[in-house]
Amino acid sequence: MLQGTKPFGRLGLRAVRNALAGLMVVAAVSGATTVVAHAAKYAAIVVDANTGKVLHAKNADSPRYPASLTKMMTLYLLFGALDSGKLTMDTRLKVSAFAAAQSPTKLGLKVGSTISVREAMLGLITKSANDAAVVIAENLAGSESAFAKRMTSTARRIGMTNTTFRNASGLPNPGQVSTARDMATLGRALAEHYPEYYKYFSTRSFVFRGRTINGHNNLLGRVDGVDGIKTGYIRASGFNLVSSMRRNGRHLVATVIGGTSGRARDAQMQALLEQYIGKASRRSGGALIARAGQEDAAPALLALAPSPRPRPELVAAAEEVGSIVADEPETVDVYDAVVAAEDKPVADPKVVTASVVPVANPLARNDDEEIAQGDIDDGGAADAAAIMTASADSGWKIQIAASPTAAGADSMLDKARAAAPQLLAQAVPQVETVKKGKSTLYRARFAGFSDKDAAWAACGKLEKHDFSCLAIRR
């Protein structure tokens, strides 16, 4: 027996243990700010939603990857279509091969099937379903890339000045960035502009085709006054959360980005909400968030099934490119071999999908750091097992074409993903610009392959679909 314990006796020791346990619980909550704030990706903001006053901010305007917080904007545009009467909750949305091939988490939608607007909406809110997000995007705008442009323009209109969207789901893309402040603005806009539909963010589960789909927002039903709204996770961002709390006429909207775990993120958010709810005003300042224009808030439906875009002029990579040794450093000279447009017409893609126009990456990463290719809001091992672990900016890429126009390269990426949706579902599409003298070329590439064998295997399969292909080590 350790010296000094005997005078306490059995009851005394139990009391000491209980006291220490209580202190540890208090420290876990009160110290969450300190622990999480040291994470390199951490950012947070707490806003009084009644007045717009910022009550707390930490790295609030620093660029971050939004992950599945992105789906709040997808839903904002969907709510606009519902509000304008372009859609109803019962409208059936068609599922493309590209949508069905999205990485987890997802509902498991089948190619050629349909899903109601209500089901797709609840799939985003609870499951954070990536397949449902792409279904919404393609049915509203014809392609995910067109929808992403609409998302970005809508973001600007409602005051999200530091946000750029490249896809509808939040799956990894080096050009898709936002800030804690902008995500809080979006959370407030959803509640302010579409209260009739915002209420669905309080949904904790729903039944989908006989299965109960449980949500990822653990604060719902656990923290008094919390009524939504959205979680998010990719490895590059950490664990993210936007929350809304209403108590006694007060209303907070807060963002936490970069949590080291789902539990740490939730504890940090709860601590912030509890700390600042008493400091919020009961007096509303009226409408505070600019409403997006009708064009963005209620987009015209191009079709309830994805439709192809007109074929732009394309330039295929010359045959000589295939003879370049891929292990050697990449040089611009490879692209001297680009030839004029093919005379043979290329069939329009069945599905037009997202593409990437490269931007300066404000979140520079080490080459050996990994980006998760999926959304695992709850950190579940089953979902994590399906995630690629190759960086979009390191490892191996494949090139399928070069074009004198960005639109041409964009279209080739669309065609490839339509032709091989399962193969390229987790790859990151990129359009890279290269200047040679007075000429500018645009390379159509897919990144995210873990090694040479994986990249060349993908090329082999794409060549069976009549695509030229070159594997390149970055």
What's the chain's length in residues? 474
Give the active site residue among 62, 96, 103, 128.
128
Q: Reply yes or no on whether 71 is catalytic.
A: yes
Query: How far apart, in whole angstroms, are the C-alpha atoms of residue 450 and residue 187?
Result: 36
Of 152, 120, 122, nearest in space to 138 by CA: 120
Q: Reply yes or no on whether 116 is catalytic.
A: no
**456-467 exposure pattern, b = at least 16 Cβ within 10 A, e = fewer:** bebbebbeeeeb
Q: Reply yes or no on whether 461 is catalytic.
A: no
Query: How far apart, in whole angstroms, are the C-alpha atoms of residue 266 and residue 274?
Result: 12
Give the active site residue among 62, 68, 178, 244.
68
Give the active site residue among 71, 106, 397, 415.
71
CA distances from 142 to 59, 181, 215, 231, 322 (A): 36, 30, 28, 27, 33
CA distances from 296 to 45, 91, 152 (A): 26, 19, 10
Local structure of residue 348 (DSSP, 8 states): P
Query: How far apart, in whole angstroms, are the C-alpha atoms of residue 92 and residue 303?
Result: 11
CA 122 to chain CA centroid, nearest Å: 17
Q: Scan for tokens 């069939």, then name that residue.
A: 347
Task: Catalogue the long-range contacts made by 215-223 (C-beta closer than 8 Å, 24 or more residues apart).
Answer: 215/125, 215/126, 215/127, 216/126, 216/127, 216/128, 216/262, 216/377, 216/378, 217/241, 217/243, 218/262, 218/266, 219/243, 219/266, 219/269, 219/270, 223/270, 223/273
Angle between helices 262-276 and 9-30 (to 10 degrees): 80
Two tokens at 139? 């049915």
Query: How far apart, in whole angstroms, are the C-alpha atoms of residue 445 and residue 167?
Result: 17
Which uninterrupted H or E stretch holds 21? helix 9-30
Instruction: Please count the other Cβ atoms lying within 10 Å of the Cβ belonging to residue 8.
Output: 12
Which are the catalytic amino acids? 68, 71, 128
